[in-house]
Structure 1
Amino acid sequence: MKIYGYKNTELLPEEIIPDELAEITLLASVEELRKIASFMLSAADEIESKGSKWEHRHLSDFDKRFNEAPHFVIYNPNTGS
């Protein structure tokens, strides 16, 4: 497992290059943590069923209440990209 991220800056999307992170910290309510856990379980199920055809999914697409939150993305390491 690897974790990537970048700072919230004013760069254009094409200028953003994610860095590998050594640690992440989630400051989230119990309700938010349960929703994130559900999202992660759903992503695991989809990767398992669709294999390399499943590339990535955003938490905000799974649950619109996260639209204003930092982007949380699950990426399938088996896509060949």
Structure 2
Amino acid sequence: MKICGYREGHRSGQDARPEWLEEVTLLATPAELRRIAAFLAAAADEMDRVGPGYGHEHLCDRQPGFDDSPQLVVVDAATPSL
């Protein structure tokens, strides 16, 4: 597993490229963590089901209430590059 991300305010720039991160900290409530866990489990199931054609999924598209949160995106590790 690898983790990458954008600094706040830099994702929308034309030259924006994700940076590899060593650590991620989630400031979340227990309810949010449970919804994130459900999203991750469903994404893993979908990744298994679809196989090599799996693209990516956004938390905000699958779990209501995360529209104004930072983006959490799941990508198959077999994807050649980001």
Aligned: 1:3 with 2:21: no
Residues 44-74 of structure 1 deviation map (CA, whole Å, 9 limit, x = unaligned)? 0000111111110000000131000000000
User: 5+ residue gaps in structure 2?
Assistant: none
Name the amino acid aligned to 2:46: E
Greater share of helix = 1
Where does structure 1 differ by over 3 angstroms across 4 or more consecutive aligned residues? 10-13
1:7–1:32 distance in 2 versus 1, CA, 3 Å: same
Q: Distance in 2 between matches of 1:41 and 1:11?
A: 26
Q: Distance in 1 between matches of 2:11 and 2:42?
A: 31
Counterpart for residue 15 of structure 1: 15
Counterpart for residue 77 of structure 2: 77
How far has the Cα of 1:27 moved from its partner? Answer: 0.4
Name the amino acid aligned to 2:54: W
Identity of aligned pairs, percent? 40
User: 5+ residue gaps in structure 1?
Assistant: none
- TM (norm. structure 1) is 0.90
- TM (norm. structure 2) is 0.89
